[in-house]
Structure 1
């Protein structure tokens, strides 16, 4: 419930107000909340009635019956339903008049056609019946119990009962259930990556006078948000927004506002249906009009109606929906083997049209693990190798391996990384895991690469005191007992190790450590250290400074001001959420395939630029557009920029949605990858949404079309390749099926026009051809392997018609040739074999399609020169279909049901001979194409 339009009338605060910008005292006054007592019971009830429950509201979607009935709005199915009804009416009239031919089963055409209609409807229903679960997943992102203070009494209440103005108490492990202002914080760190995309935990602090009004969501340190998780510390929070007014609720509203659009394949199939039905109706009108005029009266209306019904059945490729569904399912299975899980079948083909991939950074392009990459002492500038938290890697100085144990200044820096640390590094099932702050975990991994491990070192140097990190101090110090007190200073039995902001740690240092000893810090030394710190920060690294000091005593808990002075500078450590090693190659493959990668992240600008440059997403001079800059742009201005900007940093959820919409308005076909709640609206808006399977939230997965099971960006490239193969194969079997259907329609239409008294094919026989004779070879064509250059060509244009690139001309041309062959046979057999002419036409049509299926695999390569085992399923399908067709002629029950006649050996040979002519024609076309290309591209003379 949004209450911004009512709050003034009720004197209740507006949850949508920028509370991060207000002073704490003012906010408490507006919410009428006592900082110690909280709200009183009656006031809580009043606010619950006004604001409603603290829940995510789900919009109304289509119910099961609506989804099922929508399947029968397809124009081809509507035409089949009309045909079935007319056929049923004719059978009913003839049955009442006892005019049905002897042995004819009444209503069998009607029943068969309606069975196909229902089957196709069920296939469509199965694809769409998966209920939208993204909002349901959002609703789960709040803890069931929350600790509050009301009327001075502490209690636990259900999250749904929270109201704006409540005092909420949180601690490590808490899942936040509302947005709120921080009133008290003790080492409070919150993981907000699911909401903002920020890789690092956010330290929360009290801001008595508030922050700037335009502070980005990820930088609002005085606020906590619903759906995030407390990693450490504790805090007291004034609830400022609940339910749909929270940042999580705003994402839910965006999800509800995004309307599902048809995929390119669905649009092409709808266009195909309209063309086929329109063409069929035109042919029906022509046949009825000219057939009637031919005899000068309307005495043959019944025959002409039967012809029209057969034509209508023939023009509709009844098996096409089933073949497409099975083809997409096969593509789905192929993709699963390549670690891509397809949630919505049409997405398989959609991937082939993607020309822009908008990728989140954290966990998608990167490992979602902080990894130390650089280490700086006064003597050494080292690059550190390794992946993840595994303590395996090298220290490289100018690409030469350096042994830290032989360099005391490096060894002391690594020791400080371990001692001044609260995290735990452990190995679990061959993988290294971190318990605690990821930044501190990266330091333990770094020390492990230098053969220093916390378990042994912390026993040898036991901690006796600590000055904890705070947002004001921006540093942490520990005091440890020395195992062997310094002999030069026998009174120094303790060591203070400090880490934190390089600038603040450095200003408390008087000397620095080198391999040969300790020397005074001069002004030029300080300037050089700060310069290196700036260089590392500009490279996107998170930099920490380290120092130490020998002590003769253990300081008091509040004595940090005196203890953290006159320290010895040890060096700098730079880390980042490192790129996945395989992503750079994947980005290069994307570019080779005509696909442009774009980074959209909630992380900092410098970090985003550094990662994008490393991966080849952007050039070193490429500009990053920040969320603050983006929010000041109109949608028109943004649309003018999106084709040149490849890095978006510090963006909010609504920014991601705007970027995707802007790209789509420029005609781009967009895939969006992501793993957080903040990505869900953009995932749903994108032409194909791709969620992370391991790190992805339930919300992002439910809003997506595809899930990467290995969270590997490179898997997108593999899935795109499969999408291109699927679409290519769909075009192959569509040209096969429709070329055959056009031939059938023209053959049936020609029968009354050349003076034949009967329709050559009944609807049941046409259904057999469209479902079985077309269907089995089409399925085999659907699993043709990929062509070698599939990832070296531009993406398919999502706006192109299914008939584009010569496919329409091919279908018409082959349909005409097919019909000429069939009409010639029909005219011959009607006179030469009057008892069996219809069965001969039926058989020739079916067997001709087998030769067409074999030839249609390639537009240029002759069948005799291709490898027959490249797709053995096609040979099996052709053989099986031929046997089934012969069974309809020679197996008595089937022959009677399908109204066929037994053919003699001579008649069957005639059918076989004529049916090869279509195959010969297609092969001759290939020879002409080969000759044409050889003429256009003659070999170069030496």
Structure 2
């Protein structure tokens, strides 16, 4: 009975045991008949499609929100009042919100389709002893699959034959360097990234060739497990949507209670039922902030545009402000904090240490000696031969496209090519000087590569040279001598070499050794008989080349800025702990003066922790290395359980579940996989962690502006409702009519309130700590200010309305004065709301020109509704005199002065 699942732990079995378990043939493959039978039994090698929700249900879900209920009620009420234009506007807002939500939800579900597309390829298999090319969907457990450089691995394979095989598993495990593969037996506890005898679906063959038996297909693969995690990860509400939902519920309840109370009081006073019901409707219309959904959408859209200019593309609109409330950023290492481009940073030779400048694959930089002078190769023979060995004993290639340099082949070999090019030994120069004649390829058993070259620079026309690069210990075993400062061979000092290699490795660098052997006029190293036995104890050691995937130039500054803003940054990577620790120290995630034991944890250590210990470790540690996709997801969930707003950055397939689970998922646009982009809420177009700092700043600015709008608009809504309530309680005429309320709410929201969306970010926005996740949308201080302004509006409008009536004004004239008072107080209060803590005058009067334009437009509208006859008819208004305008201005100015004094007093208490 075959067991073709990943749970069978095939990596801990010998290849012979795997063959028996799968009932397979490691040479002839399966028969066509068996392949057909197994395809029917196990199904196609494709990831299962998610169970979709019907379009009708998805559309209906867009209306399931308290704020939408309020809007629908507002639209129904205005329609009942025969205000069909206003009703159409409100329902239009509801419809637009539903359409946008429907489209965004469809895009989010594309993450699973992106995962499925990763295994849609063709595979070379052996069946009935013959090679065939079949669609990868037709692979079955037990199939014998052939691999070569450039292939995408089509299923999970247990390798049975390998020849210099290296597989790029960075998208799956986060490992920056290709993994060397071998047919060995490994312990059952071996992490995915260390399983040298396995090749996993969706990874890429970097070099070499091999053959493997399919042990898992479709949903049973490691990629399938990630697919399951992505599908199971809950898409959480953002802090904004959660707070708006809570705010809307409270607002809805308050409106219904106040409207019912108004109707009840009117009936108790014996007022006409229809008139009382009309007044209750007017109160509800006044209390509903019709402009709030449009303001939220437009403010977020402006934030999207601002972030796009700073190279951050938003895929879900509410995510604009989520980063502003982020308390923890969980970042991947490879390609996020680092460049995902191996770079030689140091060359050590027996007579000196050299520093290589420049990052990435661009051959831009120089080599400095210990005195910080540019190293002349003619004065440093060992350096020259070490660079030549790295460049000539090499199968990689450098390419340039549109100014971007790339490496084709192994990144480690690419780094050595680039290092030589920085010293003027580019691939073309090396190829002319040292044409290759024979090769001993790298293997995991050999741990080095050797090449034989004609030496065109040699005096002897028949001169040859042997070049070697490989692991330090293995190359040292081949060396009897080392080059000194004069280029003369001297006995090798193995202790010094090993000490230097240990020091460099301790810095998180990958270290390779180089050696050479001149064989002028010798025939024993001819291409036909070039053999590794001829090299033993004859090579001349030339140096060590130390390389790393370097941090991005702005990463350290971005991490420091996040810490200054009160945001914790944690590295979560599939790479080795040593490499992760070194990078974390360079970018400022780890304090070199603190012990790393409590700050750096591996996936194995996490797996051994209990639930409580795990949660405590997550809070304490800053670096999590060699973690699996399941552990990444669990880490995010643990932080969320402690009420953190989590942003997760990543670029690989292995990051997708955590990206979707996080409060906001941030994917890399250039180096990221499509799966990661589809699962994310935001994509960085420059792949730079520093862009996240800019996004945090923009997000905080967006939330500030939304808060300012709500703090500005609510006093009007509350004031309108209360002035209606007061009229019912005192049995007086309504100071403002429903149509006039709609005019105030809709025009001021557009002409005045929305101008706050263009408000520049306030100084020091990144110096304050993040908002507490449980902090309500409106704090007690803001609610107190809203009630203060509402009270001023009610008192001022009631007094002015009664004054106008008492002094001979008609009812339409008195109501017109009250309408204009509401608007003028909103205008004055708008300038105060440009900052909720600082004086409006300190911000500069013209720093938001859109606000000036909006005020001018609103005032023109007020003149129109007051003096244009047609508008007088529609809105039951009438022209008023200059004395009435003077009273309106005085009341508005007095209200503004009271708000300014309140702001100053509260700012003084805050100190």
Shorter-chain-normalised TM-score: which range?
over 0.9
Distance 2:722 2:218 in 1: 63
Q: Report the equivalent of 1:251.
A: 226
| Contact residue 147 and residue 170 of structure 1 kept, 8 A | yes
| Contact residue 83 and residue 309 of structure 1 kept, 8 A | no
Distance 1:119 1:509 in 2: 74
Distance 2:741 2:102 in 1: 25
Distance 1:660 1:422 in 2: 41
- The one-character-per-residue Cα deviations of 1:847-884 (angstroms, maximum 9, x if unpaired) are 32111112222345444555211111111111101212
Does residue 362 of structure 2 align to residue 390 of structure 1?
Answer: yes
| Contact residue 64 and residue 129 of structure 1 kept, 8 A | no
Distance 1:310 1:240 in 2: 70
> 1:374-453 counterparts in 2 under 5 A?
374-401=346-373, 402-453=375-426
Residue from 363, 368, 384 that aligns with 2:335: 363
Unaligned runs of 5+ in 2: none
Distance 1:122 1:825 in 2: 44
> 1:805-816 counterparts in 2 under 5 A?
806-816=781-791
Distance 1:906 1:180 in 2: 89
| Contact residue 667 and residue 680 of structure 2 kept, 8 A | yes
TM-score relative to the length of structure 2: 0.94
Distance 2:841 2:456 in 1: 83
- The one-character-per-residue Cα deviations of 1:707-750 (angstroms, maximum 9, x if unpaired) are 11111111111111111111111111110001211111111111
Distance 2:578 2:700 in 1: 36
| Contact residue 483 and residue 490 of structure 2 kept, 8 A | no
Q: Report the equivalent of 1:269.
A: 244
Q: Report the equivalent of 1:940.
A: none
Unaligned runs of 5+ in 1: 1-7, 92-104, 938-942
Residue from 611, 615, 629 that aligns with 1:653: 629
Distance 1:752 1:502 in 2: 91
| Contact residue 381 and residue 487 of structure 2 kept, 8 A | no
Q: Report the equivalent of 1:515.
A: 485
Does residue 666 of structure 2 align to residue 690 of structure 1?
Answer: yes
- Per the TM alignment, residue 106 of structure 1 is displaced from its structure 2 partner at its CA by 7.8
Pair 109,500 (structure 1): closer, same or farther in 2 beyond 3 Å: closer
- The one-character-per-residue Cα deviations of 1:105-147 (angstroms, maximum 9, x if unpaired) are 5867765654554455455556545341111111111243212
Higher mean C-alpha deviation, range 192-201 or range 414-423: 414-423
- The one-character-per-residue Cα deviations of 1:233-269 (angstroms, maximum 9, x if unpaired) are 2221211111111111110100011111111111111
Q: Report the equivalent of 2:876.
A: 899
- Per the TM alignment, residue 429 of structure 1 is displaced from its structure 2 partner at its CA by 3.3
| Contact residue 475 and residue 500 of structure 1 kept, 8 A | yes
Q: Report the equivalent of 2:727.
A: 751
Residue from 831, 842, 846 that aligns with 2:823: 846
| Contact residue 153 and residue 200 of structure 2 kept, 8 A | yes
- The one-character-per-residue Cα deviations of 1:178-232 (angstroms, maximum 9, x if unpaired) are 111112222222211111111111222222xx21111111111111111111122
Does residue 619 of structure 2 align to residue 628 of structure 1?
Answer: no
Pair 195,740 (structure 1): closer, same or farther in 2 beyond 3 Å: same
| Contact residue 310 and residue 748 of structure 1 kept, 8 A | yes
Distance 2:167 2:135 in 1: 21
| Contact residue 747 and residue 858 of structure 2 kept, 8 A | yes
Does residue 507 of structure 2 align to residue 539 of structure 1?
Answer: yes
User: Residue 720 of structure 2 aligns to a residue in which SS?
Assistant: helix
Pair 381,85 (structure 1): closer, same or farther in 2 beyond 3 Å: closer
- Per the TM alignment, residue 921 of structure 1 is displaced from its structure 2 partner at its CA by 2.5
Higher mean C-alpha deviation, range 763-772 or range 870-879: 763-772
Distance 1:898 1:703 in 2: 50
| Contact residue 79 and residue 312 of structure 1 kept, 8 A | no
- Per the TM alignment, residue 344 of structure 1 is displaced from its structure 2 partner at its CA by 0.9
- The one-character-per-residue Cα deviations of 1:139-195 (angstroms, maximum 9, x if unpaired) are 111243212122223222111111111111122221222111112222222211111
User: Residue 758 of structure 2 aligns to a residue in which SS?
Assistant: coil
Does residue 517 of structure 2 align to residue 549 of structure 1?
Answer: yes
Q: Report the equivalent of 1:37.
A: 28
Q: Report the equivalent of 1:316.
A: 288
Q: Report the equivalent of 1:166.
A: 143
RMSD between aligned residues: 2.3
- Per the TM alignment, residue 544 of structure 1 is displaced from its structure 2 partner at its CA by 0.6
Residue from 293, 308, 328 that aligns with 2:300: 328
Q: Report the equivalent of 1:471.
A: 444
Pair 176,640 (structure 1): closer, same or farther in 2 beyond 3 Å: same
Higher mean C-alpha deviation, range 683-692 or range 67-76: 67-76
| Contact residue 477 and residue 497 of structure 1 kept, 8 A | yes
- The one-character-per-residue Cα deviations of 1:566-610 (angstroms, maximum 9, x if unpaired) are 211111111011111211111111111111221111111111111
TM-score relative to the length of structure 1: 0.91
Q: Report the equivalent of 1:771.
A: 746
Pair 172,428 (structure 1): closer, same or farther in 2 beyond 3 Å: same
| Contact residue 236 and residue 662 of structure 2 kept, 8 A | no
| Contact residue 146 and residue 159 of structure 1 kept, 8 A | yes
> 1:151-190 counterparts in 2 under 5 A?
151-190=128-167
Does residue 567 of structure 2 align to residue 590 of structure 1?
Answer: no
- Per the TM alignment, residue 907 of structure 1 is displaced from its structure 2 partner at its CA by 4.3
